[in-house]
């Protein structure tokens, strides 16, 4: 079964119509190439509250992946990680660490990964190249993470142990 995804571009300039949303386009394309069904793309202004509100809306009742692009650097309005932390239930540091390791410039990223209910949220850089690299670094494990968030138990440890003991 294909997993669903949503893409949130975080950028004042895109939100105000001054710049084209190149990051959101390439993220959506990469997700589609890997079998995800992209059900929504939207834009938010920078800022903690704007990002937190957008993520809460996108994750409400949604089982799937939300990828943000933009707002992860050191600029004064780059507050996507803070907005993400304001709404996630649990952080997934291994995912954000893997995304940072893909490129030496990743050490400058402040990206966060975590869950809101049954939604996995990943922050990626605003540059199309950086967003693709970071997302590509973890796409192989995302379906498994989403299956677990959705309640599937692909590793029924207790049942397997009981069956082995009976033999």
At 60-88, the pLDDT tens digits run: 999 999 999 999 999 999 999 999 999 99
Cα 160 versus chain centre, distance: 32
Question: Could you give the CA distance from residue 146 to residue 154 in angstroms, rounded to a whole number?
Answer: 11
* Number of domains, the chain: 1
Question: Could you give the CA distance from residue 23 to residue 58 in angstroms, rounded to a whole number?
Answer: 18
pTM (two decimals): 0.90
At 144-166, the pLDDT tens digits run: 999 999 887 666 555 444 454 44
- Give yes or no for a contact between 70 and 80, defined as CB atoms under 8 angstroms apart: yes
CATH number at residue 122: 3.40.980.10
At 110-132, the pLDDT tens digits run: 999 999 999 999 999 999 999 99
Query: Could you list the residue range(s) of the whole structural domain that residue 161 is in?
Result: 4-166
């Amino acid at each position: 079964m294909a997993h669903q995804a949503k893409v949130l571009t975080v950028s004042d300039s895109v939100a105000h119509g001054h710049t084209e949303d190149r990051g959101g386009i390439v993220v959506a394309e990469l997700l589609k190439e890997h079998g995800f069904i992209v059900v929504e793309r939207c834009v938010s202004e920078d800022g903690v509250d704007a990002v937190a509100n957008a993520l809460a809306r996108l994750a409400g009742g949604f089982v799937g992946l939300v990828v943000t692009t933009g707002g992860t650097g050191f600029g004064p309005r780059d507050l996507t990680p803070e907005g993400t932390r304001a709404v996630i239930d649990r952080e997934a540091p291994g995912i954000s660490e893997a995304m940072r390791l893909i490129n030496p410039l990743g050490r400058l990223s402040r990206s966060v990964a975590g869950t809101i209910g049954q939604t996995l949220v990943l922050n990626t850089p605003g540059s199309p190249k950086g967003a693709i690299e970071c997302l590509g670094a973890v796409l192989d494990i995302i379906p498994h993470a989403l299956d677990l968030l959705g309640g599937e138990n692909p590793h029924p440890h207790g049942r397997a142990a009981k069956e082995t003991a009976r033999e």
